[in-house]
Amino acid sequence: MEYSPASSLCAMFSLQGQVAVVTGASRGLGKSMATKLAEVGAHVVLVARSQDQLEANVAELTQRHLKASFKVVDCSDEPAINTAMAAIFEEHGKIDILVNNAGLIMRKPATETTAPEWLGIMDINLNGAFYLAREAARYMEKNKYGRIINTLSALSVFGRPGIHAYTASKHGLHGLTKSLAGELGSKGITVNGIGPGYMKTDNTAALQTNPEFDTLVRSRTPVPRWGEPEDMDAAVVFLCSPMAGYVNGHMLMVDGGFTSTVCNHALE
């Protein structure tokens, strides 16, 4: 067969035969990343709390003859996580990829934030991500291969007023990414993060319709627009692929250059 650069490149990024678990996959960034992983060959297990939306997403994928299933899991619930990951391993015989994407954000002054509100953010964004990574690593170790990708944030590297729990959790998840990378790399498991900038998702809907904030985002981002969920897709495919075998403990920013150029007081 004649050599084809295009087909060779596709093979390099193929995830054919792999099993990928994507949390927060009911909508937004998680749904988009799960779809792209399925498109490049993985069987994707979509995880979230909304059964109706998960069923609809899986139906969309299977109608396209892509491989997908789902698990309804509260990603702050350690026993539920343990049970779900064990069931996925039992059903598929392996877990190759975990995309830790489930997350919550709350905008509230520090003086008005309650302990339950603070802990609720931490339980999803940081604690749950650790439980999922821990369980995934246990199964990945059996095959001496794995890819763990954590959805980080521009707020993993700077702060903003009024988003305290989210910022702290994403800074923590950045640190966890690096510490897990150091521990698991020798076991054939890489751990990396993707840092989205200001993306068009449900979480930013109110900000997108605020003319002043919209202008600030566009003017302060060297690529002068909001990010789309699809902008995350190439990053997650690369980090999940065999091509990224020597990329470990890294945060790949998908932010149009925002964090490379902006001062942390630019957006109030």
Catalytic residues: 166
Rounded (5°) CA angle 253-144-139: 85
Distances (CA, A) of 207 to 22, 50, 108, 187, 202: 26, 24, 14, 42, 10
**Cα 59 vs. chain centroid, distance in angstroms?**
22
121 HSE (CA, 13 A, CB side): 21
Torsion of CA 255, 258, 264, 266, to 10 degrees: -120
Q: What is the CA radius of gyration of the chain?
A: 18
174 HSE (CA, 13 A, CB side): 19
